[in-house]
Structure 1
Amino acid sequence: MADCARAYTPPYDCTPCIARDLRLRRGDLLQVMGETELWYYVRKRTLKNKGTLTEERGYVPKHFVRRVCNLKAEPWFFESITKRIEAKRCLLRQENGEGAFMVWRSKENPQYYLSVRNGEAARHYKIVEVGQLFYLVPRRAFHTLCELVDAYSQDQGGLCVRLNEPCVTVKRQWYEQWEVQRSSLRRVERLGSGEFGEVWSGVWNSNMEVAIKEFRAMDSDVLNEIRILTKLSHCRVLKLYGVCTMDMPFCIITELMRNGSLHRFLRGKSSKPIKS
């Protein structure tokens, strides 16, 4: 038998057939202490009328009880995640491996999603909720999200990969509030390139001209540049609009300098000499 701290409850009253079985009532809370192929060995605590707490232990058939699902207590439920781009960002961190997963709820509609890491991509599955059932496909429905996760952790069942470990909880990065959708950017003309990457003129949200500075890697120098730009606010200082850090290439979106770099401008014909 394997020790565990899972909690289950019977959906109906149950009269024991033999002495070692427990008498169960609908709503009883059972803590699983161990299990065999077909049975759970559980502990049931009951509060009597006089305030005394009694404890009973015994066996219950696995098919008769359902897992109690407390989402906020589950390591795979990410209450703070409300968008696919946020789920993808977390799953693709280097701390997570193949099959890392999470369940989250959309901010736009009351819909649960299962997101799974598959190689260098994140796959998202909508969890359909009908009545008191949850499913990815109708032929495989479950009474709770916990049961759904347990099932796909044991059997791939049509997913891109079998669920492995819950996504690692990582402290929110300070620059994530600046994240923008890469699909909202359109590159227009390459302005320059170097060891770090390339700089493009482009359009953001279909109506704003911007500069898109692309990087081959997100190193400390890039993070330091972003950090400095977030702290500066002046009409004569380049304005930061956002960043793209979800996939390669990483980029910074800033105000577009119409005359190019200061060095190029000073060397150009349009610059004026300073009178002494």
Structure 2
Amino acid sequence: MPITAINLEGVRKSYGKNVVVDDLSFVVTPGECFGLLGPNGAGKSTVTRMILGIAPLDSGSINVFGEPVPARVRLARSRIGVVTQFDNLDSEFTVREGLIVFGRYFGMSARDIKAVTPSLLEFARLEDKVDARIATLSGGMRRRLSLARALINNPEMLVMDEPTTGLDPHARHLIWERLRSLLAKGKTILMTTHFMEEAERLCDRVCVLDDGRRIAEGRPRVLIQEQIGCNVVEVYGGNPRELRAIIGPYARHIEASGETLYCYTPHPEQVCLQLLGRSGLRLLQRPPNLEDVFLRLTGHEMER
């Protein structure tokens, strides 16, 4: 039987009476990008902490590259690079010094660290910042440095917790491009995110969590087609009950969240035509996405 990158079976974790991970199972295969999706508090970070052996599990089992965690977590961790949600870079170091210190943490020789540093700097697009203090780097640069640092010992898998939180769109797209290049080289990536676009762009498969429970798993486009399968018209403003009566005949289903009605319809033009000229309304017609899957399955929007 081929060794999986990660295998969770029936994992449960509580803090007091608060269940944060509830009977969770999934498998990550080598070479894929697997996403844990959900709002803050859904249990995503707790799952990664258990996989890394930082937090104990109450029940169930975790195996990483065939090694049981936490019993043999050191062997598993030697094959993993970690990028935490909030960087723990030492701002007093230069970029070069930060890489050297982290390489030594993995027992690498000065010669080996020196040999890999140029390629890591090129990967992170920080060649011209090698002697700059980390404190002077922008948020996007620090994130790229965190990613380069996690690759210093050439791990087989990256575990990334909210890799682009707090970044501007340009920096986010640059991180995505770097991650795609790693996947093309055969790296395995486990990432947590609450950005649906990020998951759709990067992940081969996703596991959607809500309140610590798995509510869906599969390929993003397949989940979107299975759960939604038509276009979406967002309607802002107006009387929800009145609007439902008007557009209901053209909708497969309608979800309400706050002041917005989400109309899932194979006839978006008809929906917009019925609402044409009504004052106080704003309409947005778009393709379905993973956010719609989450709303459909839970009845509420993804909270960030």
Provide TM-score, normalisation by structure 2. Answer: 0.23
- Bigger relative contact order, structure 1 or 2, given CA contacts below 8 A and separation 6+? 2
Provide TM-score, normalisation by structure 1. Answer: 0.24
Radius of gyration: which is bigger? 1
Higher helix share: 2
